[in-house]
Amino acid sequence: MVENGFIGGARPLPPHEFQNEPHDQFLELCAIATTGSLSAEERRRLEGHLKDCAACREALSQYEAIIGGAIPAMAPEPSLLKDREQITAWSPDLTEAKLFARLKEDEERVERALTWASAPTRPSDSSGENLWRHVWWQFAAGLLLSVAFGTSLYKVGIRRGVASARLAPPTTPAMQPSGPARTEQTAAGPVPANELTSKKDAQVGILQEQLEEREIEFHSVFENVLDAILILDGRATCRDANPSALQLFGIRREQLIGRPIATFYRDRDRFNSAWKRLLTQKHDRGESEIMRPDGERIFVEFTATADFLPDRHLISLRDVTQRRSAEEEREKSLAIAQSAWREADALRQATLALTQDLRMNSVLTTLLGLLHRQMPYETAQVLLVETDSRLFLAQERIARGDSGHLAAFPDTLNASEYPVLQRALRNPGGVLIHNTFEECDWKDIAPDTTARSWLGIPLYSADRLLGLLCVTHSHPGQFTAEHLRVARSLAPSASVVIQNARLYERAEIYASELNRRLSNLH
């Protein structure tokens, strides 16, 4: 019911606190109040004014009706938000047309109300009040239309941003355009769904090509590398191998795949410990010895990595057999050189020691002492030739502590009774017996004594046999070919000093006889 130009039939009461403030300012506050943007002071002023002004109360209720009805009408239908291909069907032009349709419906509804209010039964001054109401509705509609369009444009921007965020696929820095092209794409707004799908498919295609190229590179390296590569599972069973591995093991592919790699190792315990260490430390390297099916031994240098893929371990093998053989030969040559140096030094020291004293007993004692430094004998004897087959004991040395248990060596003996002595005297290179029990013609020289190891070297001076140098041991295998070689090298020096000692003894005898005769003349 409209009376006196206001809905509800009541005029506003005279203002008190806010009577000096313009009425349009409170109408603006009513419009802003629907957005919830009033400050505390503005809200207090508006509430005080609404107590006295029915027109502002009516305006506020109509603002709220527009915010609750007109503005939601501008948003797209909820069904459109579910289908992103239909989002483009909503536009500000359609929203504006829909808004004006709603305003036109409201205007027709107001016109009907005004026609009813101007009926003859109303007071005579209603025409002036209807004119005022018509002007008021025009002002309110314009103001509300401005607010509605501003809110509509704001929501349009938000919805387009959300649509762009949902439709645009994630891109990496390498896939994003740069420079002016990127600026043009950003300014163009949301990209159509079909174009985004094609771009996504192109990106997937590029990634697939990159993966295929990497896979080709990996297989090329795996198939052509010179080192053997094995891929094992958690039980050390071969799951894959390259051609170099097949060549290293000397078998076909079907014989290697599915076979435990430990079967190729000569030392299984060492392989098991190395495998446990690899699974614990994840990395390992070293050298191993491998037995091929044909029985050939191969030395390999390995580098292993555990769990490069789930339950997959990689081992790289390199054949170092030739290098190992070269190192062994070098070690042997070095050992021979060191032995030769020690032998030369021993001969030098022996020569110096043997020439310090020309007396026979001193020379022979020094000779046996030097010989003990070179080989671990228990007893040693120097037998000199008395006649063609008869020898006499010139010097003996007992090296071990229990000498009381050894029987005395005979002072003289007949070489024809001992086949081993005859063989040693006839062989300039000497005789080495590792185990006397294995010699059919062996006969113990010293009574009640069993010699298990024996070595004898003949002593020559100017192609003349001087005697025999021999050493013994009560355990077999105590003398080696190296000991025989050392004794053979020392024999010439010993022969020279023995011959010099004999000459010295003769000179002493001649000098003594000469002195005796001279003393008889006087």
Percent of the chain with pLDDT over 90: 21
Asked whether the domain spanning 354-511 has the same topology as the one spanning 221-319, the reply is yes
Residue 299 has pLDDT above 60, yes or no: yes
Enclosing H/E stretch for 24: helix 23-33
More confident residue, 63 or 302: 302
The whole-number average pLDDT for the span 224-234 is 91
Most confident of 141-145, 209-213, 232-236, 343-347: 232-236
pLDDT at 136 over 70: no
C-alpha span between 109 and 288 (Å, rounded): 101
pLDDT band of 453, cuts 50, 70, 90: very high
Q: Which of 455, 502, 461 is nearest to 477 (CA)?
A: 455
Right CATH number for 221-319 from 3.40.50.300, 3.90.1150.10, 3.30.450.20, 3.90.226.10? 3.30.450.20
Whole-prediction pTM: 0.41
In contact, 455 and 483? CB cutoff 8 Å: yes
Over residues 429-439, mean pLDDT:
90
Dist. CA 431–CA 409, nearest whole Å = 20
- pLDDT at residue number 131: 45
Paired with 241 in beta bridges are 230
Determine the pLDDT at residue 300: 93
Q: Regarding the domain delimited by 354-511, which CATH topology (the fold level of the hierarchy) does it fall under?
A: Beta-Lactamase (3.30.450)
Residue 110 has pLDDT above 70, yes or no: no
Give the CA distances from residue 129 to residues 50, 257, 293, in Å, rounded to whole numbers and listed in that order: 21, 104, 118
Locate the domains of the chain by residue range: 2-166, 221-319, 354-511
Percent of the chain with pLDDT over 70: 70
pLDDT in tens, 29-38: 887 777 777 7
- 62-69 long-range contacts (CB < 8 A, ≥24 apart) are 62/140, 63/30, 63/31, 63/33, 63/34, 63/140, 63/144, 64/34, 66/34, 66/144, 66/148, 67/34, 67/35, 69/102
Rounded to an integer, the average pLDDT of 2-9 is 38
Residue that has been written with the tokens 């000096």 in this structure: 20
Listed range (118-122, 392-396, 437-441, 497-501) with the worst mean pLDDT: 118-122
Pairwise CA distance, residues 199 & 78, whole Å = 28
What do you get for the CA distance between the two ends of the chain, in Å?
Answer: 191
- pLDDT tens column, 203-223: 888 888 888 888 888 778 888
Centre a 10 Å sphere on the Cβ of residue 51 and count the other Cβ atoms it contains.
13
Task: Find which of 122-131, 326-335, 440-449, 492-501 is predicted with most confidence, using mean pLDDT.
Answer: 326-335
Phi, psi of 342 (to 5 degrees): -65, -40
Q: What is the pLDDT of residues 347-365, one digit of tens each?
A: 787 777 777 777 888 888 8
The reported pLDDT for the residue numbered 78 is: 52
- Tell whether the model's pLDDT for residue 83 goes beyond 60: no
Q: Is the predicted pLDDT of residue 306 greater than 90, yes or no? A: yes
- 248-295 pLDDT, tens digit each: 999 999 999 999 999 999 888 889 999 999 999 999 999 999 999 888
Nearby residues of 216 by Cβ (< 8 Å), 6 or more positions away: none
pLDDT of residue 371: 86
Q: Nearest 10 degrees: CA dihedral of 170, 175, 179, 183?
A: -30
CA angle 186-187-190, nearest 5°? 65
Q: What is the mean pLDDT of the chain?
A: 76
Question: Closest Cα partner for 306 from 265, 272, 277, 264?
Answer: 277
pLDDT score, position 91: 57
DSSP string for residues in 363-390: HHHHHHHHHHHHS--SEEEEEEESSSSE
- For 172-189, the pLDDT digits (tens) are 343 444 444 444 444 445
| Encoded tokens for 366 | 């020094």
Q: Is 119 exposed, middle or buried (0-12, 13-18, 19+ CB in 10 A)?
A: exposed
Q: What is the mean pLDDT of residues 31-56?
A: 81
Residue 1: which pLDDT band, with cuts at 50, 70 and 90? Answer: very low
Please tell me the total number of residues recorded for the chain in this structure: 522
More confident residue, 140 or 78: 140
